[in-house]
Structure 1
Amino acid sequence: MLMENLLRSKEYWSLIEHGVVTAPANATAEQRQAANESKLCDLKVKNYLFQSIDRAILDTILTRDTSKDIWDALRRKYQGSTKVKRAQLQALRREFEVLEMGESESVNEYFARTLAIANRMTSHGEIVQQITVVEKILRSMTERFNYVVCSIEESNDVTLMSIDELQSSLLLHEQRMKGKQSHSEEQALKVSNG
């Protein structure tokens, strides 16, 4: 997905979709020039692909002639059949459903883990709404966040809340809890040393 975005931004994606333009046998000067420009662009795309592909994989695709050939080979190899894609998506859905925040996990760590799964689901064709992620996070926070979750749900319309807003709110509460905890520990030390 990242490579596709790069190639689209460089206006090279048509080479992946349609392949290299070739000039007919009785080509005009303009047709030959267009074919040469297409070949040059194809070399640039191949260079981008070669730079981003792991060395072990690179050795398996070096014999491909065009960037389209390389892309198609990689897509067949890694995306697999529709059956494989559906199985992968099912596994991701299950992982998302059972996901819960760990006791020692920070808000940022939990959001990163949750969003990584949601993004992988999206890359497999699932439409993951922002509200789905927001509600999942609110449902799966640890018990120490129960009062915070209740407060957020009562004071906000969670259907309109963005993931970033939720994360910001939970981070603020997490910092306050850490501040109170360190203050309590200082007081306990003073009492025990006093």
Structure 2
Amino acid sequence: MSFTPPPPPVFAGENYNIWAVKMRTYLQAHDLWNVVLNDTEPPPLRANPTIAQIRQHNEDCAKKYKAMSCFQSGVSNVIFTRIMACDTSKQAWDKLKEEFQGSDKTRQQQLINMRRDFENLKMKDSETIKQYADRIMTTVNNIRLLGEEFSDQRVVEKITCLNRDNKLVLRTIHL
């Protein structure tokens, strides 16, 4: 039996952070992520290369086109027009990141807002613990999607210590 890899995830302009995680994993699975990160050309062949060195060089050269192909296949036609002038997969990655995630300053402001949202989350009277935990996890996952470390311990503390009518309620929630 042979394994046919799935096509890359397609980005249509919404949920960039989720697409970026999926695309990074897709490229890593195909040994192409370093091509995006490093954006370097393979060194030229030495004089009198062996067949194995020639094959390896050709494979390394092809990786940059494979990575770019993944990007072009992994975006809708509307998004494709934004990256079609990019010469490298790193340029395409950076362009999409800048446009859809914003600058570092924008990202930092989003993180500040989400951390504040997390700290201000309170369980509603009409809400089950499961619903409350889901709201917490949505906020935490959005923080993590922006690249911020967020410990499970902080999440557990938020979920397990609920103060309702001045009574401490302890529950076990599996993350």
- TM-score scaled by length of structure 1: 0.61
1:100 and 2:125 correspond: no
C-alpha distance in structure 1 between counterparts of 2:150 and 2:62, whole Å: 39
Query: Structure 1 residue aligned with 2:87, among 65, 76, 85?
Result: 65
* Counterpart for residue 8 of structure 1: 28
Query: Structure 1 residue aligned with 2:134, among 94, 108, 112?
Result: 112
C-alpha distance in structure 1 between counterparts of 2:112 and 2:170, whole Å: 33
Cα RMSD for the two superposed structures: 3.1
Instruction: For CA contacts below 8 A with separation 6 or more, give which structure has more relative contact order.
Output: 2
Q: 1:34 to 1:21 in 2, by over 3 A?
A: farther
- TM-score scaled by length of structure 2: 0.67
Partner secondary structure for residue 21 of structure 1: coil
Cα drift, residue 100 of structure 1: 2.5
Cα drift, residue 102 of structure 1: 3.7
Partner secondary structure for residue 169 of structure 2: helix
C-alpha distance in structure 1 between counterparts of 2:131 and 2:95, whole Å: 35
Partner secondary structure for residue 95 of structure 1: helix
Larger helix percent: 1
* Counterpart for residue 19 of structure 1: 39
Larger radius of gyration: 1
* Counterpart for residue 135 of structure 1: 157
Q: Name stretches of at least 5 consecutive residues in structure 2 with no aligned partner.
A: 1-20
Task: Render the CA deviation track for 1:53-105: whole Å, top value 9, x for unaligned.
Answer: 34422221122122122112222323433322211111111111122234444
Letter in 2 for 1:77: E
Task: Render the CA deviation track for 1:32-62: whole Å, top value 9, x for unaligned.
Answer: 6444323432233223323433442222112
* Counterpart for residue 12 of structure 2: none
Query: Contact 1:21 / 1:34 at 8 angstroms: preserved in 2?
Result: no
Name the % identity.
28
